[in-house]
Structure 1
Amino acid sequence: MIASTQYQVSHVDLALVLALVRGRSLARAAEQLQVDVSTVFRAIRKLEASLGIALFEKSRRGYMPTQSAQALAEQAERAEQALEAARIALQHGEKVISGTVRLTCTDAVLQNLLLPSLAELMPRYPALSLELATTNTFANLSRRDADIALRLSNAPPEHLVGRQLGHTAYYIFGRPEHREAFQQSPTSVPWIAPDDSMPDHITVAWRQQVHPSLVPRHRCNSMSAVATLVQAGMGVAALPDFMARSLDDVERLSDALLACDTDLWLLTRPDCLALRSVQTLFDELTPRLRARINSR
């Protein structure tokens, strides 16, 4: 991290570091800053001397940023976003929604439900930025590392507030060539399942109860990977119906799995709803996600 120093980092310093982090070379950084290469070289050396730390390491791959340079670059990007938001606010008036909203969900929900909604929604809010993180737990939201969570759950944490958007059912899905063998003996075909990184996934509990002796042939650390293997014809798997809609040449091989229906929730902390950016995204996503999760 940055050493203790009396030197006051300026906006010019942040722009300099960000340009070299992005460009990885003096020439590309100089082009971004519209100065000559020697100016960039001298400025970086002067900044490092003033701070008393190294910001970049020269290698065959170019100028590689140290942890301190990465920290400065992150702040520079935030300043850049803030300036852009201010510019848009001046153009469009006080009603513009700006800021950064941190959103967390699972990879399956992101790919199949959230991304289509965001692609439709975000062009309407040019001053609004997103930070997306995929995780299978509520930890990020609870630790205040995220503002909104989109989660499949029948028991969302009580300290969060939100909206129930609909529910999804789970079925066994596979390619048509697996149908006959599966109907004759479900355990005679290769199964694909979540690995030990998702021990509490609802399909794991169902399989252990209904087919306790079944050992999956293939295991994956995400439901998106499970679905991809199913589409490739490598076996069958229990998947939520909203995921299977986008899989080519894959069909339902079973009725809805008992006790596997799960609600989709849009969640946040009570204090976050006071933020216009969070409230706006909450209100805009609600009808779009309800339409997607409930379409059949």
Structure 2
Amino acid sequence: MNSDFDWSLIRSFLAVLDHGSLLAAARALSTSQPTVGRHVAALEQQLGGALFERTGRGLVPTALALRLAESGRAMEAAAHQLARSLAGARTGVEGTVRITASQPVACVLLPPVLARLRAQWPQVQIELVSSNEVSNLLRREADIALRMLRPEQTGLVARKIAEVTICACAHRDYLRRSGTPRTPQELLGHALVGHDRQPDIQRGFAAMGYAVQPERFGFRTDDLMAYWAAVRAGLGIGFVAEYLVRTDPQVQPVLPQLPLPRLPIWLTVHREIRSNPGIRAVYDFLAEQVPTALAADAGAAVAPASRMRRTQAVTSSTDRSSMV
């Protein structure tokens, strides 16, 4: 490699890698196709090898391109972080930002994300409200909310930033004792972990054609962390967000064919305080980092369209944060 390697060409290279063609990359970068082509050609000359093979399906990355991509992504992330830090210094990103989220999101998903945020902006203090209730941002109970239900109040700005996948699961010890269900009908023969007052799980069974009474659930709670603890303790089969399940190797998903919902995560803020530099910075950071955290944890899995259609039949119209 040339000792005077031009790192400025990496941006065009990554755009082509992501979009599969010079034209699409140029559109994404708001530049011209010949400019992107020159950048890729210059980078190939500096590296001494081809980065893409031209096929009928577009540009296919070579082994050299895939090796370069890892370093390029790291460079891109560092550049974005530097840009955010400089913007924060210019606009005075500081002060206290109050965030509310459901218990599992607040206790499991958000802490690593907030650790990165604090490392970038140590002058920003975070207040995290762990609550399964839909906080009313109009009353300033929080500055930013992460919820599984889109708020309908006027004056709020909501942005769908990710989806959370639910699965049926149980501790390995329970499955060793009781066996693993292979069909929904067999599931009804097992000990089930349910909710106390929230009807989501019962409605899900009803959508599949099974009328299940509350007494069918041997353990019931609406506290989502207590619910997760019950599943981990082997009290029975429960329905839990996959990002939680992956934190405990002793908990095993079952019945992957069940049409369980993918629940949206809505990032919500009051329209009037988006111009606050600290709140705006945290809002943008969460919009970028929460989907990244979920994708990294889940291997960036995407549900087939057929499963998404089945999901509509079993997703409750109530506050879906009662499931995650």
Task: Flag whether TM exceeds 0.5 (same fold).
Answer: yes
CA contact (8 A) 1:164 1:266 kept: yes
CA deviation profile, 1:225-265 (whole Å, cap 9, x unmatched): 21111111111101121221112311110125426221111
Identity among equivalent positions (%) equals: 22
C-alpha distance in 1 between matches for 2:262 and 2:151: 14
Partner SS state of residue 100, structure 1? strand
Q: 2:201 aligns with which of 200, 203, 206?
A: 203
Residues 178, 186 of structure 1: alpha-carbon distance in 2 compared, 3 angstrom cutoff? farther
CA contact (8 A) 1:231 1:248 kept: no
Partner SS state of residue 182, structure 1? coil
Partner SS state of residue 248, structure 1? coil
CA contact (8 A) 1:170 1:257 kept: no
Partner residue, 2:320? none
C-alpha distance in 2 between matches for 1:183 and 1:223: 26
Partner residue, 1:272? 273
Q: Does residue 152 of structure 2 align to residue 157 of structure 1?
A: yes
Partner residue, 2:229? 228
CA deviation profile, 1:207-231 (whole Å, cap 9, x unmatched): 3444423521111232222111111
Letter in 1 for 2:124: L
C-alpha distance in 2 between matches for 1:152 and 1:120: 23
Partner residue, 2:239? 238
Partner residue, 2:169? 173
Deviation at 1:178, TM superposition (A): 4.3
C-alpha distance in 2 between matches for 1:244 and 1:181: 17
Partner residue, 1:213? 212
CA contact (8 A) 2:180 2:254 kept: no
C-alpha distance in 2 between matches for 1:252 and 1:93: 46
CA deviation profile, 1:108-147 (whole Å, cap 9, x unmatched): 1112211110012113222211222122232332422111
Residues 93, 289 of structure 1: alpha-carbon distance in 2 compared, 3 angstrom cutoff? closer
C-alpha distance in 2 between matches for 1:144 and 1:190: 42
Partner SS state of residue 282, structure 1? helix
TM-score (norm. length: structure 2) = 0.57
Letter in 2 for 1:266: L
Structure with max Cα Rg = 1
Partner residue, 2:101? 105
C-alpha distance in 2 between matches for 1:269 and 1:256: 39
C-alpha distance in 2 between matches for 1:237 and 1:244: 11
Residues 213, 279 of structure 1: alpha-carbon distance in 2 compared, 3 angstrom cutoff? same
Deviation at 1:158, TM superposition (A): 5.2
Partner SS state of residue 169, structure 1? strand
Q: How does 1:1-296 map to 2 (within 5 A)?
A: 95-153=91-149, 155-157=150-152, 159=154, 160-179=156-175, 180-183=179-182, 185-196=186-197, 199=198, 202-210=200-208, 211-214=210-213, 215-255=216-256, 257-258=258-259, 260-295=261-296, 296=298
Partner SS state of residue 188, structure 1? coil
The answer for unaligned runs of 5 or more in structure 2 is 1-87, 299-324
C-alpha distance in 2 between matches for 1:101 and 1:239: 29
Say what the alpha-carbon RMSD is for the aligned residues. Answer: 2.3
Partner SS state of residue 123, structure 1? helix
C-alpha distance in 1 between matches for 2:205 and 2:273: 38
Deviation at 1:190, TM superposition (A): 1.4
C-alpha distance in 2 between matches for 1:256 and 1:291: 26
The answer for unaligned runs of 5 or more in structure 1 is 1-91
CA contact (8 A) 1:167 1:294 kept: no
Aligned length, in residue pairs: 201
C-alpha distance in 2 between matches for 1:256 and 1:111: 28
Partner residue, 2:77? none
